[in-house]
Chain A
Amino acid sequence: MTAATNTKPETAEVPSAQPSGLPSLPDYHLRIQPSKGWVSLKLRELWEYRELLYFLTWRDIKVRYKQTVLGAAWAIIQPFFTMVVFSLFFGGLAKVPSDDVPYPIFSYSALVPWTFFAYGLQQSSNSLVLSANLIKKIYFPRLVIPISAVISGVVDFVLAFSVLLVMQLVYGIVPSINVLFLPFFFLLALVTSLGTGMWFSAMNVQFRDVRYTIPFVTQFWMFATPIAYPSSLIENDLLRALYGLNPMTGVVEGFRWALINTDTAPGPLIVVSSLVAVGLLVSGMYYFRRMERTFADVV
């Protein structure tokens, strides 16, 4: 850039005229052409746009509870009252076993990561369609959109999680050293949410059917995850590991193990869950990138 403009006398006289906003990259070159087949993930570019990711996440958080009376309390109300209902019906009436832990905290400790996951899934799935105006008018790595939608749920997670801590105090359950693994399980929930979110969001651009499928999928998935009941109902070790094919099983059992000392130590199940989650994420990203080229035309 510098070399080129300096050859032109009229611009050479005005040194301040150098575009100063972006770092001067004399050899910055980009070829715009039709992409064929599977394309690279361009993670480096994604990193360059981290500020946009930050601002979009910030916007989602900021706007979420505008014009609501209860505001951020919603982040707590949803999992908390689900817990109350579960405790009444599953814990109280149906006498579902809860790994020798009081049922309310048993179900709530699972509902906290689950709510984070479900929210992320729902938000990210609709995110691209809701951002149609951005996609049609400006270029940026499209992956930023579903990622920010998932990450914006972290605030809700923290709020709901703080209630979990209060409940731990009330029930007098002190976490063991296992609590150190908690971030890993959180990460697992995040990765699962991102992975499924990418699949669904990219599909939603093409097929609006997805939008109507999400509530159903979420509900189904919730009952396929040991939230209202313990996975220890399955006694066969091999079957239990297979249960980990649902990565949220690993997340939920991990949370319980780390926080309320259930006997669901991470074993083969968590390995299976992690592999599936990473698989979802990587495949989701590739699928997303492949579909990305048509987003602006189709959305």
Chain B
Amino acid sequence: MSDIAIRVEGLGKEYRIGAQQASYQTLRSTITDAFVAPVRRTRKLLSGQAYGAAGLDETIWALRNVSFEVRHGEVMGIIGRNGAGKSTLLKILSRITEPTEGYADVYGRVGSLLEVGTGFHPELTGRENIYLNGAILGMTREEINRKFDEIVAFAEVEKFIDTPVKHYSSGMGLRLGFAIAAHLEPEILVVDEVLAVGDIQFQRKCLNKMEDVAHQGRTVLFVSHNMAAVQALCLSCCLLDAGQLVMQGDTEQVIAAYLQNSATLMKLVPLADRTDRGGNGAMRFVGIGLYDKDGNPAAVGQTGQHLTIELEYTARETSPRAAVIGLIFSNIHGQRLFSCISRYSHAEPVALGGTGRVMCHIPRLPLVAGRYNIQLWNKIDEDVGDDISGAFSFEVVGGDFFGTGKIYTGSSGDTLFDHHWTFDAQSDR
């Protein structure tokens, strides 16, 4: 036997669009379909199989042409944005759903952990749920007996073990769920975003447990949005985007590519289709993006570092008109922090027309780590042309604002400004 644990070859999964709104059909529509389908199927065959058929039924490929190999004992991370196909891939590998095309060879028993506490019954006690959930995850009764105490201790629910789970706090339920799953011992473990459970302390514990598992020589496929966790656990990584495998290799490189990739994707967030806007439409913002000081797309801002906010616009008139551009920054509570208004911070009058770009450069971003919203507005000939209050939201990561080599980690207030200190110590000699 080779040392391959999982070999995925041209794997694809097609979903019918709209399946989410009406996941089950009515009998009538199916009976109608029964008469229509054969005709459709014939057409499908004539038009050259699946590719041609995609246009007939509205379908979407959640995963397409994905091939990779995982060796025994390897811990592989799978990263990608939401909707990239990560969960679909895990669902196929754990046999919850069938692929539409391609295949996967799996050498060894697969244990999957896509959710903690699957099948918990609120009326049953913690003890009973351990047995139930254990059985659902594929443990034998004897195995659960053996690990029972360990599970209870790990979940820190000793006192409540004979209390119905419906009386548990949500944190306790999650802890118990994770504790059971963490004691699963399959040869291949497939894990979806389950570390984001409970409080920070427990998350740390979960991560440690996962590290243990990873170092036991088990094969692990690990999906997470937590790059630190992926970095800590995985030597190699797969990057999925829009259902395709974009990159596979060394974790560091793949993560770097992912961050770059998501920044590229963020290059321009379209605003043209926004309807939650005011103004007379003399000028509309159609896109917004963030860039660092070298002009590279940035996924996030960093405290004290250069940030350029680029706006794309379309004006109704092609001839230049007097224009004012305004950006208002607010925190997640909707509290306005500061604004950048061209009328005041740009000395010369501005005239804009046709389509173009406006760049607002902030040399040292005065925001502390957190999430912020930007409101955009403009005035053309002193009339409001566009006004989008929640136009854009972005993340700021911590950095050195004061040039002291120290990263600001304070939590009093959202903004920073320049200041300095003098100290005049009086001492009796």
| Extra inter-chain contacts (19) besides given A25-B109, A27-B1, A297-B97, CB under 8 Å | A1-B72, A3-B1, A7-B3, A18-B217, A19-B186, A22-B109, A28-B187, A29-B106, A32-B93, A32-B106, A34-B98, A51-B135, A51-B140, A52-B136, A52-B138, A59-B132, A138-B114, A298-B23, A298-B24
Do residues B118 and A133 form an inter-chain contact, with CB atoms below 8 A?
yes
Interface string of B31-43 (1 = CB under 8 A from A): 0000000000000
Q: Which residues of A are in contact with B by a Cβ distance under 8 Å?
A: 1, 3-5, 7-8, 10-11, 14, 17-22, 25-35, 51-52, 54-56, 58-59, 62-63, 66-67, 133-140, 205-209, 293, 296-299
Total inter-chain residue pairs, C-beta < 8 Å? 165
Would you give the shortest CB distance from B313 to chain A, in whole angstroms?
43
Give the total of B residues in contact with A, Cβ under 8 Å: 61
Do residues B184 and A21 form an inter-chain contact, with CB atoms below 8 A?
yes
* CB neighbours of B140 from chain A (8 A): 21, 51
User: When A and B form their complex, which 7 residue pairs have the shortest distance between CB atoms, in order from nearest?
Assistant: A21-B185, A11-B217, A33-B103, A55-B135, A139-B95, A17-B216, A4-B72
Assembled-state Cα–Cα distance A208/B23 (Å): 10
* CB neighbours of A136 from chain B (8 A): 96
* CB neighbours of A66 from chain B (8 A): 123
Assembled-state Cα–Cα distance A230/B124 (Å): 44
Assembled-state Cα–Cα distance A43/B91 (Å): 23
Assembled-state Cα–Cα distance A4/B217 (Å): 10
* CB neighbours of A139 from chain B (8 A): 94-96, 110, 112
Do residues B114 and A29 form an inter-chain contact, with CB atoms below 8 A?
no
User: Which A residue's beta carbon lies closest to that of B218?
Assistant: A19
Would you give the shortest CB distance from B77 to chain A, in whole angstroms?
19
* CB neighbours of B229 from chain A (8 A): none
Assembled-state Cα–Cα distance A22/B91 (Å): 21
User: Which B residue's beta carbon lies closest to that of A53?
Assistant: B135
Would you give the shortest CB distance from B37 to chain A, in whole angstroms?
14
Which residue from B30, B73, B124, B139 sits with its C-beta under 8 Å from A63?
B124
Do residues B139 and A31 form an inter-chain contact, with CB atoms below 8 A?
no
Assembled-state Cα–Cα distance A133/B72 (Å): 30
B145, CB-defined interface residue at 8 Å: no
Given contacts A59-B132, A138-B119, A138-B136, contact A28 B99 (CB under 8 A): no
* CB neighbours of A35 from chain B (8 A): 98
Do residues A19 and B24 form an inter-chain contact, with CB atoms below 8 A?
no
Would you give the shortest CB distance from B152 to chain A, in whole angstroms?
18
Which residue from B97, B136, B185, B216 sits with its C-beta under 8 Å from A140?
B136
Which residue from A8, A14, A28, A296 sits with its C-beta under 8 Å from B109?
A28
Interface string of B5-26 (1 = CB under 8 A from A): 1000000000100010001111
Do residues B132 and A55 form an inter-chain contact, with CB atoms below 8 A?
yes
B108, CB-defined interface residue at 8 Å: yes
